[in-house]
A and B are shown apart, each in its own frame.
Chain A
Amino acid sequence: MGLLSIIRKQKLREKEVRVLMLGLDNSGKTTIVRSLLHKDIQEISPTMGFNIDTISYKGFNINVWDIGGQSSLRTFWFNYFERTDFLVWVLDASSLQRLVENFKEFDKVLREDRLAGCGLLILINKIDIYDGDRQKLKEAITDTLRLKELQNHSWNLLCCSAYTGENLQDGLDWLVSEYEKKYYIL
């Protein structure tokens, strides 16, 4: 029995969830995390860097790895101690012209073997300043990202606003329930 298998078992027992927060630059990833942590969201400069924060929610410790939109992502998928449970892909509802760019990046990320089986939460951020038909927007994004063709990934698509906090909790609820569904049915 190695140290790693022990740590992984404990991770399960202690409800530690690892989430990678990804998306194009300026999609609002850091604002979402700060909003969830009830931190000040008024002045956030672009995240070129990388931050880890832990959100405690419904008895789970959700470790969010917020990775700047312009980083090379490969090195973050996996590490010695733990693997990724969820990808949260953040889109900017006010920047829909970048949808194709989003798809290219998204597709590239999902080809990574080490992400096989992880859950996917797609958040359409800045919905508070979007005045179109939300349902149609969701359908368009579902088609563009070819979500229905995904295999081995459970997924969910939510409109949200880091600014108003709308639907952020629903996102967390989905993560937690998916995790429970996967690991704590019995």
Chain B
Amino acid sequence: MDDESGISKISDILLQEIDHSLTIILRERQDYANLSETAEYETFKKAIEQFQPSPQLLDSKLRDFLERVIRSYIKNCLYEDQDDALDTRISCVFYQFAKVRGTKTVSNCLPSDISLISIVLKRGSEQRSWESRFFLFVWLSVLILAPFPLAKIDLHLPDKIYNVAFEYLKTGSKETDAASVLMARFLSRVDSRDYRDLFISEYFNSLAWEHESNVFAKIGILSTINRMLKILTLEQLRNHLDRILTLISNEINDDSQQAPSSILRFFIKILGKLSLFFMRLEQYGNIEDIVSNLLKFLSHNDTVIRYSTAKQLSKIGLHLDSDSRQDILESLVNLLDISFMFDEGDEFQADLHLDPETIDIVSFHGVLLTLGEFCRLRLMSKKWITITGSICHRTLFVEQHRLTYSAGSNVRDASCFDCWSIFKKYRDAEIPPGVIVTLFKDLILVSCFDGDLMIRRAASATLQELIGRHGDLLFRQLSVPSQYISMFKVKLIEILDYTALGHITKSYQLPSQIYRRLNGLMHQEFVDFLLSSGIRNYNYSLRKLSSQALKEMVSISSDYDAENVIMKLRGEYKLCKEDGILNAIADLLSLLPERSVDSTQYHAMISNFTFDFHNDEFSKGEEYLHLLKELVARLGFQLNSNELDTVFNIIRTNREEITDEFKELSKYLKDIPLKYAERWIYYVKNGNLASAKALGYSPVMRERSQEVLELLSDIRLDANLRSSLIDSVSIFLQRDGYLNKTFIQGKLKLIEQLDDYTVTNKGDVGSFIRISSIDMIFENRDFFSSEDDRQAIEMRLLRLSCEVMDNVKLRSFSLLRSLEHWGSQVEDVTQSELLHNPQKYFGILLKLYDNENLCLESSKEFWKGYSFSGGSSQAVDKTINAAVYAFLRNWQVLTNEKKCAMLRIIFSLLGKGPLMKDKGSKGIRYNKMQTSCLRFVCNLIELNLEIPPEFELESLFVRTYNMTLGSSNYLRLTIAVRILTNLYLRDPKKFHGCKKRLQWLGEKHPLTKVKARAFEALQEIEFESQE
């Protein structure tokens, strides 16, 4: 929903909110308190700011609100000096109204009680806050409009007003705007003539201007002059007009310095207003000067300046005779530097020479905006509508390519504006039918194919005007039978839906909808556009979308033969190797029947193709691979060595798009010469991901499976690469690889990939391998179906399902559930439920464990995994808590016998493991597991896990004791200290050895930190014993 609609919907509620806030801020209630006023002001501000998109919605209550503001100010502040905060707050309320609704509008709601002039002026001159000055100056600007000589109230009053207004004109603060309103209104008074003369003669001359270095002062003066030109009469200004023009002309033409936009904006507005005065004085020379000056600003870098100029020029045009108007229009078009034939203005000039890459984008934008304004004000003759149409026919597609982006969307936007104005403001008979038809086709192309969402929408809005107002004429011109015209109108508007245009992919599919629903309307234009520019677009995504759209448009009609279109493109590629052509040919090839074309001609076409992976865009390689894939797939194309070399050159570019295309190509490459098979494996060994990922589709895998299997165990290879190789093995197995002897014999090696815990500075990269392995087994369950396989897999999955990483454990759990026998044991829960409710997840796992009679080895694997979740330093608190609480809950329903068995297995993990001597990743992993397990056990006993009396808890003491021997692992020792303390406190006699060990650690351990922990533990024991 846009902002305007949003505010319309809630404006009544917001007005009530404002009404309520004001009762508090303005102290209309007796029970006010300072604090609530400040808070209420924030509420008020929030409410009023929401009116920004549609400030007029304030109007129904604005007068009432402002009267209350004034009433409160008069009552609480105007004659009092005590409450500065309230003064400022009320003034802030006024400022917010002025900010949202405009100073002029709010000033119209202020009372004009002449008796208040002196006090308001006095207070305004004395106030410290700018908000208060702003409010009082605006109010004063209304008060001084009273039709009485000000000097009669107080002889010095005019002086005082002039001085105070002038002082604050220069500050550059927010009250400058109010001071400018005050000054302009003051100078517009009949009795202010001398001040008026003084103001202009003293400050608006070249000398004073040069000396004034303060930009804010200049802006203040200009804004006052601008306002004066709005409210003063010709008679009041007659003597000053030349002076104002001269100064501005001099400033504009002073090449030594360029005025800032904030000043230029006023220059332009003032020039526009001056021209209207000169028109009344019939001083056409001055008008000509003004127009010449304004024309220069159409190429200003600031859009605001360009638009402001366009508006002023069109305003001047509105008051000129048609010949002079024509002169302005000709000057405008001359600014474009295009060879336009004015004599042929009546003829639509479809092939206007205009090179989008070299034109001055800002000038075009400025000129098009002005032409649009001329159209909107109906200042164009039929000839000029034709000229504007001829220009828009080209500018609707302007795009200028820069290094990292393309410019020109403002030119296209302004072109839509021009067309919109023409179609909205002119009747059928006033627009040449040729212009209507051509622009219609252009706008349809822009609606469907422009890369910028706003331009597509602008074009479609323009089409609505065109079809709604000139639809009958248009479709008659397009030879649509009269009985179908209404249908065409509605269907077209429906197809060019605001929402559909919002998605670039959908908008590129609109031409086929238009074709299908509107009897092939514009079919040729769509194909021509896509062929001539769409498929070669600068933007990679648009090129691909165009290519797909072209394929669709060629396929839906018998008017086009894909082979002919391909032949045309081949010819063009021969002449110029533009990006996108190969891609389009590739897409079109898929329309040809298999093996219908002699493929040899394609060898010639791509024989000169080269790819430099250091410098070339990846897309160049991507489309080459795409073409080869289609050639091989459709035409049985055999790649020669040159082409294979290029392919292997392209895949050195590490891009997903390249990998995907290479995978596609690999699916169809049947015979790969030995040299390239070796190169493929060489690439894999050297870390090339594309070759690893595509290997599964290639016959090379069959021939080199032993090498691949060995590579999987090569821990020197990057984990990502090994994970990709596993993906490839998975694909190979699915594609009839179940009979491959190497993999049959090497199944265990494949299953063992589930045990990869490689850790690098990027973290647990082994998880990539574990995930790929889980997926591989999942996809090839039939291959891993023997009893031995099942046992080896299940054992590992029990561990993986209990681990910390969500994506590993949930994938593993899914695989476990999918295995025969396990599926019926697991309750039916969704992945998302498992993910968001870890306690439930662990509960399910423990239930599974209880129900199954697992062998010792499987049980150990289960608790290895569980220890990580229940005690790993890497696990988040949520996971640890979930694992521990699920364990405790499950513990309550177990028999003592089961409890003892479970504890024995868990504690056995704390013993010296078979791999402890392994210093590699497996050894490190085992150590980590033990520390996690120790922490898990520590968490349990600290939560008073009830140990069956018959269980030999001494075993925990022994295990813990042993784990402290010769260890300098601070984390492990800290946990051990906690366990030893807990055991001792449980039974000091039975576990007196714990205290002894703690004493030894406290006295003799080489690490001070460990000593300190042990010492603290002993203190705790001492303290608890005394209790």
Q: Is B119 on the interface with A (CB-CB < 8 A)?
A: no
Contact of A50 among B307, B420, B490 (CB under 8 A): B490
Contact A116 to B414, CB < 8 A, known contacts A185-B59, A185-B60, A186-B109: no
Q: How far is the CA of A186 from the CA of B59 in the complex (A)?
A: 7
From B462-470, B796-804, B846-854, B874-882, the one touching the partner chain is: B462-470
Residues of chain A within 8 A of B467, CB atoms compared: 50
Name the residue of chain B whose CB is nearest to the CB of A49.
B486
Q: Give 9 CB contacts A-B under 8 Å.
A: A47-B486, A75-B496, A80-B457, A81-B420, A116-B5, A117-B9, A181-B60, A182-B59, A184-B56
Tell me which residues across on chain B come within 8 A of A135, comparing CB atoms: none
Q: Is the CB of A80 within 8 A of B460?
A: yes
Q: Cβ of B493 < 8 Å from any Cβ of A?
A: yes
Residues from 676 to 723 in B contacting A, C-beta threshold 8 Å: none
Q: Can you list the 8 inter-chain pairs with the closest CB atoms, starting with the nearest?
A: A117-B8, A49-B486, A52-B468, A79-B461, A80-B461, A116-B9, A48-B486, A185-B59
Residue of chain B at shortest CB distance from A152 = B9
**A89 at interface, CB cutoff 8 A:** no
Dominant SS at the A interface? mixed
- Complex Cα–Cα for A184 and B11 (A): 17
Q: Which among B303, B458, B465, B498 is the interface contact of A78 at CB below 8 angstroms?
A: B498
Known A12-B56, A80-B458; contact A49-B8, beta-carbon cutoff 8 A? no
Query: A44 contacts the other chain (Cβ, under 8 Å)?
Result: no
B235 within 8 A of A: no
> Cβ of B6 < 8 Å from any Cβ of A?
yes
Query: Is B950 engaged at the interface, CB distance under 8 Å to the other chain?
Result: no
Find out whether the CB atom of B2 lies under 8 angstroms from the CB atom of A114.
yes
Given that A52-B468, A185-B59 are known contacts, is A71 also in contact with B490, CB under 8 Å in the complex?
A: yes
Bound complex: CA A171 to CA B496 (Å) = 32
In the complex, A106→B1 CA distance in Å? 20
Is A138's beta carbon under 8 Å from chain B? no
Q: Is B487 an interface residue (CB 8 A)?
A: yes
Given A116-B9, A152-B9, A49 contacting B487 (CB threshold 8 A): yes
Chain B residues within an 8 Å CB radius of A81:
420, 458, 461-462
**Does residue A15 face the partner (Cβ distance < 8 Å to B)?**
no
For the complex, is A76 an interface residue (Cβ under 8 Å from B)? yes
In the complex, chain A residues 3-24 whose Cβ is within 8 Å of any chain B Cβ:
3, 6-8, 10, 12
A183 at interface, CB cutoff 8 A: yes
Q: How far is the CB of B775 from chain A (nearest CB, A)?
A: 43
Interface residues of B in 468-489 (CB under 8 A from A): 468-469, 471, 485-489
Distance of A183 Cα from B458 Cα, bound (Å): 25
User: Does B497 sit within 8 A of A, measured CB to CB?
Assistant: yes
Interface string of A47-87 (1 = CB under 8 A from B): 11111110000000001010110011011101111110000
- Residues of B near A80 (CB, < 8 A) are 454, 457-458, 460-461, 498
Whether A186 and B105, one on each chain, are in contact in the complex, defined by CB atoms closer than 8 angstroms, is: yes
Q: Are A7 and B457 in contact (CB under 8 A)?
A: no
Contacts of A152 in B (CB 8 A): 8-12
B767 to chain A, nearest CB (A): 45
Contacts of A78 in B (CB 8 A): 2, 5, 498
| A114 CA / B109 CA spacing, docked (Å) | 32
Contacting pair B471 A50 (CB below 8 A): yes
Give A residues with C-beta under 8 Å from B. Answer: 1, 3, 6-8, 10, 12, 47-53, 63, 65, 67-68, 71-72, 74-76, 78-83, 113-118, 151-152, 181-186
How many chain B residues sit at the interface, stated as a range, is: 35 or more
Q: Which of B420, B467, B486 has the most CB of A within 10 A?
A: B486
Q: A12-B56, A79-B460, A114-B2 are in contact. Are A48 and B487 (CB under 8 A)?
A: yes
Q: Tell me, rounded to whole Å, the shortest Cβ–Cβ distance linking B409 to chain A.
A: 11
Per the 8 Å Cβ criterion, residues 1-27 of B in contact with A are 1-2, 4-12
CB proximity of B61 to chain A, nearest CB, Å: 10
List residues of chain B with CB within 8 A of the CB of A183: 56, 59
Query: In the bound complex, do residue A75 and residue B9 qualify as a contact, i.e. CB atoms below 8 Å apart?
Result: no
Interchain CB contact under 8 A, A6 and B5:
no
What A residues does B8 contact at CB under 8 A?
116-118, 152
B residues in contact with A71, CB < 8 Å: 490, 494
B residues 972-1004 near A (Cβ < 8 Å) are: none
Distance A13 CA – B937 CA, assembled complex (angstroms): 78
Residue of A nearest to B423 (CB): A52
Chain B residue at smallest Cβ distance from A84: B5
Q: Closest A-chain residue to B495, C-beta based? A: A75
Residue of B nearest to A79 (CB): B461
CB B490 to nearest CB in A, in angstroms, measures 5
Could you give, for residues 420-457 of chain B, a 1 whenever the CB lies within 8 Å of some chain A CB and a 0 otherwise?
10001000000000000000000000000000001001
**Nearest-CB distance from B110 to chain A (Å)?**
12
Interfacial chain A residues near B494, Cβ < 8 Å:
71-72, 75
CB-defined contacts of B498 to chain A, threshold 8 Å: 75, 78-80
- B417: chain A residues at CB < 8 Å are 3, 7
A77 to chain B, nearest CB (A): 8
Q: Which residue of A lies closest to B497 (CB)?
A: A75
CA distance A48 to B462 in the complex (A): 21
Contacts of A185 in B (CB 8 A): 59-60, 62-63
Contact B57 A68 (CB under 8 A): no
Contacts of A83 in B (CB 8 A): 2, 4-5
User: Which residues of chain B have C-beta atoms less than 8 A from A76's C-beta?
Assistant: 464, 493
Which of B62, B460, B471, B490 has the most C-beta atoms of chain A within 10 angstroms of its own C-beta?
B490
- Give chain B residues whose Cβ lies under 8 Å from the Cβ of A3: 307, 369, 413-414, 417
Least distance between B497 CB and chain A CB atoms (Å): 5
Given the complex, which residues of B lie within 8 Å of A52, measured CB to CB? 464-465, 468-469
B108 contacts the other chain (Cβ, under 8 Å)?
yes
B304 contacts A by Cβ under 8 Å: yes
B261 to chain A, nearest CB (A): 12
What 0/1 pattern do residues 140 to 175 of B give for CB contact below 8 A with A? Answer: 000000000000000000000000000000000000
List of B residues within 8 angstroms of A49 by Cβ = 471, 485-490
Closest Cβ–Cβ distance, residue B417 to chain A (whole Å): 6
Partner of A182, one of B12, B57, B465, B485: B57
Chain A residues whose C-beta falls within 8 Å of the C-beta of B7 in the assembled complex: 117
Q: Do residues A68 and B490 form an inter-chain contact, with CB atoms below 8 A?
A: yes
Contacts of B485 in A (CB 8 A): 49
User: Is the Cβ of A186 less than 8 Å from the Cβ of B468?
Assistant: no
Contacts of B10 in A (CB 8 A): 152
